Amino acid sequence: MADTTNDEGIPQPEGASDIIETEYEIGQDNIETSIGPFGLDIHNPVFMISGLSVVVFVFAALIFPGQFETFFGWLRPALTSTFDWFFMLAANVFVIFCLLLIVTPLGSVRLGGADATPDYGYPGWFAMLFAAGMGIGLMFFGVLEPAYYFGTPWGDEPLGAARPFGEDGQIIAANVEEARRMALAATSYHWALHPWAIYAVVALSLALFSYNKGLPLSIRSAFYPILGERVWGWWGHTIDTLAVFATLFGLATSLGIGAQQANAGLDFVYGIPTSVTTQVLLIIGITAVALVSVLRGLDGGVKILSEINMVVAAALLLFVLFAAGAVTILGDFVMGLGAYFTEVVPLSNPFGREDDGYREGWTAFYWAWWISWSPFVGMFIARVSRGRTVREFVTCVLIIPSIVCVFWMAVFGGTAINDMIANPEASLVKANVIDAYKPELSLFGMLEALPLTAITSTVAIVLVIVFFVTSSDSGSLVIDTITAGGKIDAPVPQRVFWCTFEGMVAIALLLGGGLTSLQAMVISTGLPFTIVLLLMCFAIFRGLQAERQAL
Amino acid sequence: MFKRIMVPVDLAHVDRLNKALTCAADMAKQHGSEVVYVGVSAATPTSVAHNPEEFAKKLEAFAVEQGQASGVTTTAHAVTSHDPSVDLDPTLLKAVDETGADLVVMASHIPNVTDYIWPSNGGTIAGHAKVSVLVVR
């Protein structure tokens, strides 16, 4: 279980790095106390304020459900349709910034000092990258999104691509290839370079300021170049509290909504009726496994679960690939990759377009969503990325996951699209995505058309559930670290608290209503965080420059 | 009787270790043994050090200082852990082998109800180490 980086003790020496000299001592604002028999070591006031504000918002959402739903139901779409250009331009900046880091000399800086060695090997590292922030989305959207863009008749088609189905539902053969090509390109656009660049920016800034500059592993540290010593005061408290708030509600609302979707899947596959009891049991089960995982720690729990998940996901991917016809699907992949490269520029240009449904309803929504998750995912990636050079880090967090995601979308989406055109009348994908919008059944509809449905559907449900566990456990570790003032060695009861708290918030919102309105609230935090991320790019640039001079 | 005595130290809370440190030094004097101080650090910056390298230096300095005060031979052995809250026990058990110690002297709190769920570090080390363990309360 204990996987120390070096049997001989500390990797000696770690080499040159440019430590920021600050008056602040990590843990100086912490309170070490005990409640009953439980020892605590918590940051004052971030722990209390984030905890209490979550409770206040849960109660408010339960007491004024109507007002919450009206307000956030208006706010989120209002933000994404008004500021779609801002989200899109910012995301483009992140991608270009990351690509520049790979090719410029700044990329040679090593996270953790010039001579640091990587904490994790590639398999464990990649597994944790995917399992924390994206796995669950790949399961949910892998079939849904390409199928939707391919067949949608409701004006959401990307870049006004030709529609493959006529008014009467008959296939228009001439349009099929163009629609397929654009569906794969438009889906890949949302899952490849842009989201990973968002995560990479946050992760890189935290890793740099923590491992090389010696500041605590907390969101506020990334702001040191801009705010200076003020980050240790209320500026920093606010930034950290906002990050905890967004992470906790992001995880809890996804867990609640995810339980409803998993229930729909269980109903479809096994006929287990949709009921609140089943959903609450699912949340309790997911939280319980996540608890075991955080109790076993990063190496003994989180990493192992992530690796198991990756193996199972890869098996499902290969099964779909071969069951659906490897040659056709690999052709789709090559075509999808090519289409992505040719269409990524028009797709990421926010001006002079008429596809509002796609651009505002999907792209801007995704960007806000990725950005609101970025404090959590970025901090987790930072935690496991020590010892890599910036160039290696960006290549592995940006380029390789992008290719994996394009491949995943080509396999799941390509199979789903083939199913829709092979027999539009009988296609369950078409029935659940286009004819009636039941997104949670899209994946199962696709698996239904392939052999061994009973087995693959079960595997898919297990994967969905375990991906929730791997988000929940890594999220609890991140929240625990932020609320302990950047200490990763805080007493274990604290992480147990956050993990349990997240499950309880999910259950409260599930029972009382308010999951969707609070999720809309979380996604709305994407707008202020976009400004934060832009500032981070500047801070990273300055920080890396200083690092180069220290060499 | 004992050649090498291992003393796990938490550099952030040295004030709580006085009894264990004195006890180890006295025993070392009596048996003419060497004391090796083992410190476990996270790879992230902590209240003790900005990075593992600095932590190792601080532990080294601590060992020298202890040696001068008590007049016994002292060394330091620093280790990093990905998740110290959870991995501390196995990391320390590994350090027992790495240092070749034949006695562990460590401080521990008085057991309370949570020890049924999370045993104290001293308790776990005593339960699993193949060498003698003296838990100082």
CA A268 to each of CA A164, A424, A467: distance values in angstroms, whole numbers, following the listed order? 28, 20, 20
As for how many domains chain B has, the answer is: 1
Q: Round to the nearest angstrom and report the end-to-end CA distance of chain B.
A: 23
CB-based contacts of A154, cutoff 8 Å, min separation 6: A357
Cβ <8 Å between B47 and A37: no
Collect all residues of chain B within an 8 Å Cβ-Cβ radius of residue A486.
44-45
> Rounded to an integer, what is the distance from CA A537 to the centroid of its chain?
19
* CB–CB contacts below 8 A, A to B: 124
CB A403 within 8 Å of CB A118: no
pLDDT of residue A452: 92
* A147-202 pLDDT tens trace: 999 998 887 889 988 899 888 878 888 899 999 999 999 999 999 999 999 999 99
Interface residues on B facing A, Cβ-Cβ cutoff 8 A: 12, 41-47, 50-53, 55-56, 77-87, 89-91, 93-94, 98, 112-114, 118
pLDDT of residue A309: 92
Shortest distance, CA A199 to any CA of chain B (angstroms): 19
3-class secondary-structure state, position B80: strand
CA A551 to each of CA A15, A106, A108, A498, A547: distance values in angstroms, whole numbers, following the listed order? 9, 11, 10, 40, 7
pLDDT of residue A37: 66
pLDDT of residue A15: 58
Nearest CB to B79 within list A9, A298, A487:
A9
Mutating which of A42, A488, A492 best tests the B interface, going by the most B Cβ atoms within 10 A?
Answer: A488
Give which of A415, A419, A416, A467 is closest to A139, Cα–Cα. Answer: A467
User: What percentage of chain A has pLDDT greater than the value 90?
Assistant: 58
pLDDT of residue B67: 93
Cβ <8 Å between A210 and B44: yes
| Topology (CATH) of A46-550 | Hydantoin permease (1.10.4160)
* A526-547 pLDDT tens trace: 999 999 999 999 999 988 988 8
Mutating which of A26, A219, A489 best tests the B interface, going by the most B Cβ atoms within 10 A?
Answer: A489
Nearest CB to A488 within list B12, B44, B112:
B44
Amino acid identity, position A224: Y
Minimum Cα–Cα distance from B112: chain A residue: A37
Cβ <8 Å between A26 and B94: no
Tell me the mean pLDDT in the region A126-147.
Answer: 88
Helices (H) and strands (E) in chain B, counts: 4, 5
Collect all residues of chain B within an 8 Å Cβ-Cβ radius of residue A211.
43-45, 51
3-class secondary-structure state, position A118: coil
CB A360 within 8 Å of CB A76: no
Nearest CB to A1 within list B46, B87, B113:
B87
* Highest averaged pLDDT of the listed ranges A38-42, A226-230, B42-46: A226-230
Shortest distance, CA A485 to any CA of chain B (angstroms): 10
Interface of A with B in 372-391 (CB under 8 A): 383, 386
Nearest CB to B83 within list A27, A113, A299:
A299
Mutating which of B55, B83, B113 best tests the A interface, going by the most A Cβ atoms within 10 A?
Answer: B83
Shortest distance, CA A38 to any CA of chain B (angstroms): 7
HSE-up of A471 (CA within 13 Å, CB side)? Answer: 27
Cβ <8 Å between B98 and A26: no
Minimum Cα–Cα distance from B92: chain A residue: A2
* A229-268 pLDDT tens trace: 898 999 999 999 999 999 999 999 999 988 988 898 899 8
Amino acid identity, position A423: N
Nearest CB to A13 within list B43, B53, B83:
B53
Domain assignments of chain A as residue spans, ordered by start = 46-550
pLDDT of residue A40: 77
Residue where the block lists tokens 């990334």: A222
Give buried/exposed letters for B110-132 (b at 16+ CB in 10 A, else e).
Answer: eeeebeeebbbbbbbbbeebebe
State phi, psi for B109 to the nearest 5 degrees. Answer: -80, 170
The yes-or-no verdict on residue A7 having pLDDT over 50 is no
Cβ <8 Å between B43 and A5: yes
The yes-or-no verdict on residue A468 having pLDDT over 80 is yes
Minimum Cα–Cα distance from A295: chain B residue: B86
pLDDT of residue B52: 87
CA–CA gap between residue A148 and residue A126 (Å, rounded): 29
* B49-93 pLDDT tens trace: 888 888 999 999 999 999 999 899 999 999 988 888 888 888 999
Kindly calculate the radius of gyration of chain A based on its CA atoms and give it in whole angstroms. Answer: 23
CB-based contacts of A96, cutoff 8 Å, min separation 6: none
Assess A296–B contact: CB distance below 8 Å, yes or no. Answer: yes
Nearest CB to B86 within list A5, A215, A296:
A296
3-class secondary-structure state, position A335: helix
Nearest CB to B46 within list A1, A37, A487:
A487
**Domain that includes residue B19, residue range:** 4-136
CB-based contacts of A30, cutoff 8 Å, min separation 6: A41, A42, A43, A44, A484, A485, A487
Total-model pTM? 0.89
Cβ <8 Å between A488 and B83: yes
Q: Domain of B50: which CATH number?
A: 3.40.50.620
pLDDT of residue A1: 33
Give which of A514, A507, A55 is closest to A287, Cα–Cα. Answer: A507
Shortest distance, CA B115 to any CA of chain A (angstroms): 9
A400-422 helix and A326-348 helix, angle to the nearest 10 degrees: 110
CB-based contacts of A198, cutoff 8 Å, min separation 6: A91, A94, A367, A370, A371, A374, A533
Beta bridge pairs of residue B80: B41
* A434-449 pLDDT tens trace: 888 888 899 999 999 9
pLDDT of residue A537: 94
Nearest CB to B114 within list A38, A211, A215:
A38
CA–CA gap between residue A156 and residue A360 (Å, rounded): 9
Minimum Cα–Cα distance from A37: chain B residue: B114
The yes-or-no verdict on residue B107 having pLDDT over 90 is no
Residue where the block lists tokens 């003393």: B7
pLDDT of residue A6: 35
Cβ <8 Å between A4 and B47: no
Average pLDDT across chain A, whole number: 89
CA A367 to each of CA A80, A117, A304, A533: distance values in angstroms, whole numbers, following the listed order? 9, 33, 30, 12
Collect all residues of chain A within an 8 Å Cβ-Cβ radius of residue B100.
none
The yes-or-no verdict on residue A10 having pLDDT over 80 is no
CB-based contacts of B83, cutoff 8 Å, min separation 6: A297, A298, A299, A488
